[in-house]
Amino acid sequence: MAKDRIEMELGYRRCAGFMLANRDGLVFAAQRIDSQVLGTWQMPQGGIDPGESEREAALRELEEETGVTSDLVDIIAAMPEPVRYDLPDELVGQLWGGKYRGQEQHWFLGRFKGEDSDIDIAAHDPPEFSEWKWVVPDELPDLIVPFKREVYRRVVKEFRDLV
């Protein structure tokens, strides 16, 4: 019972995510370097720094994790509302210094104007991804860890017609 009380007292980490779409209607997905055994893939995403807007954070995360700079992207849309997910019980208290029960994510869709050679997943030190690929948007939820799947379904549904 104490664990449930602690989880209820924990808030959600503010986060921004970026769905990067290429000219062929495919979207960027990358395998997390810290979860290669599970085959965990995701789109660029991360925490919002103090004083940073959701859009600024999404573009910063995109550049840090993929090497894609803002001049190589046209932002097409933003989800009107953030989406939340809760961590599984075994991860609550383990991630982000134990301060959060999950994330509240603000998602953006952008069209990639560059070439595949402009993508550099080793741009971040240390890198967060071990490999990347372009995928059909509807495949994304199947690539992500189970506790984030509903968020990815909502992101895909929101942006599908714009990709």
130-149: average pLDDT: 94
pTM across the whole model: 0.89
DSSP-derived letter for residue 95 is: S
- Cα–Cα distances (Å) from 152 to 18, 50, 114, in that order, read 11, 25, 24
Amino acid at 71: D
Strands 100-112 and 11-21: parallel
Tell me phi and psi for residue 115, to 5 degrees: -110, 160
3-class DSSP state for residue 9?
helix
**pLDDT, greater one: 145 or 155:** 155
The CATH architecture that domain 2-162 belongs to is Alpha-Beta Complex (3.90)
- Residue 36 reports pLDDT greater than 70: no
> Residue written as tokens 């995510």?
17
Q: Residue 99's pLDDT is what?
A: 83
Q: Residue 31's pLDDT is what?
A: 93
Amino acid at 106: H
List the chain domain ranges: 2-162
Q: Residue 7's pLDDT is what?
A: 47
Q: Residue 104's pLDDT is what?
A: 96
Q: How many Cα neighbours within 13 Å face the side chain of 163? A: 21
